[in-house]
Amino acid sequence: MKTVRQVTYDILRRNNIRIIFGNPGSNELPFLQNFPDDFEYILGLQESIVVGIADGYSLASGNPTLVNLHSTVGTGNAMGALANARSSHSPLIVIAGQQHRAMMTVEPYLANIDATQLPPPLVKWSYEPSTAQEVPYTISRAIHTAMSEACGPVYVSVPYNDWAHEAEPQSTSLNTRKVLSRRVLDETSIEQIAQKINNARNPVMVLGADIDADDAYDEAVKLVEKIKCPVWAAPSISRCPFPNTHPCFRGLLPIGINSISVQLSSHDLIIVIGAPVFRYHHYETGNYLPAEAKLIQITCDGNEATRAPVGNAYIADIKPTVIQLIDKVKVRDGKLPDYRRTPHQVDLTSPMQPETVFDTLSRVAPNNSIFVNESTSTVAAMWERLSFNNQGSYYFAAAGGLGFAMPASIGIQMACPSRPVFVVIGDGSSNYSIQSLWTAARYSVPVIFIVMNNGTYAALHWFASALATDGIPSFDLPDINYTQIAEGYGVQAFSAVTPEELVGAINKTKSSGKPALIEVATWGPRQHT
């Protein structure tokens, strides 16, 4: 008779889960006992980093991904990263170790008190099996729940003595189960949407991260080129849904209610696909939509559909719905619009402006590169100067939680070993998850980490101005030597002050096949003193 642990590993194999990302404690060791040879355990130094790596792996692979956390304290450390995973629809299966069942009523050391109540609302489902025999059924359900649209993280708390119990004989049937779902709109709904698009005087499309997540990148281009309309990336976007060098691409929508309405004011029909309506950031008074404009939203997420303040929403999977629309909309007369513009020239090269860094990266990064961004004050410049022309080319923290980019890039690189991965991160942001470097070094994951060191939290300076909040404390950072920190974690490190030095460092890194950190001095408050 197989044990609960053995049946659980069989279920993981059946669902193509062979990597476990974790930072275990004593409660987790019975699950890891006699660790199978066909599995790999990726260790992180802190739980938020573990979830971040798993998040990146899940986003880039599209597969369910297992995370191993330590009871209450490990879960607590990971909560910020879980917020990003929830917003990005990452199908993470979090298994947290629980204390021995026989002691739970006395709340022993390292017990996860009210375990199922800890992670909500950051997970789709949270459960602790009532018996050891229920564990395999719970793990199977967790995997299928995480992968059901809209995908998202789930949480299972398992008492550590459960793993050694005999499994129920019928639990082996879980190894042959499948849960399949592909939601398409009915013919009437598709005809109605297509008719509105065909009849629109001046339609515009707003595309979101789920275009990229559902591998509908090429289909989005086909649809836009039939309609011949401008395309905006949704505000606060975490993935690139459309080639940013395409003639129809306008750029990133702003993040305020009135600002979006003003930007879309010339359009009578707004088609939002794969995005919420809308992910606003700071509050502005004004109208949600321009006067007389109508909005259609197509989303895989029922929550996004129900919370939208305006428009008609359709809940369906993104790629098949876009394909349906391609077949139904008419080809518009005339030429494609061309909104491309040449970025403004930047002459400062020592220290470099962020624009100079991106121009340099644009010249040396291969065409299939992946960029993971956490330089929050330079997002617009990055989109203007780098090329995201392939599916899965760009990632950003979906909930805005700092500490995403460094660990996520490791998971992304593991899922996409044939594509170069570059992290562009601010010096302030890097301190949230710099321990990620150790994992990159230990497992030889060849990510290139570029730290933009301007000596401050520049994004806060921008928001202080936008929110008219004068007299705030200083947000400048002390002198931190990021190259020495990287070397301490076993990662090769370089400093760059000029474009030539940056090119040299990148070329050395690429030829080594190992992870590297490049600290780039950029224009900031230190240059004003």
State the catalytic residues. Answer: 25-26, 28, 47, 70, 281, 400
Q: Answer whether 420's CB lies under 8 Å from 447's CB.
A: no
Please name the residue that has the structure tokens 């939002």: 272
329 CB-near residues (< 8 Å, 6+ apart): 194, 197, 198, 223, 226, 227
* Beta bridge mates, 87: none
Please give the order of strands across the beta sheet that includes 516-521.
Answer: 394-396, 370-374, 421-426, 448-453, 516-521, 492-496
- Residue 507 near residue 364 (C-beta atoms within 8 A): yes
Does 422 sit behind a cis peptide bond, omega within 30 degrees of 0 on the bond before it?
no
Q: Which residue, 367, 379, 241, is CA-closest to 299?
A: 241
**Coil, helix or strand for 312?**
strand
According to the 3-state scheme, what is the secondary structure of 10-63? HHHHHCCCCEEEECCCHHHHHHHCCCCCCCEEEECCCHHHHHHHHHHHHHHHCC
d(CA 52, CA 257): 30
Q: What CA dihedral angle connects 501, 506, 511 and 514, to 10 degrees? A: 120
> Which of 450, 361, 449 has its CA nearest to residue 410?
449
Secondary structure element (H or E) that encloses residue 1, with its range? none
- The 3 state secondary structure assigned to 121-159 is CCCCEEECCCCHHHHHHHHHHHHHHHHCCCCCCEEEEEE
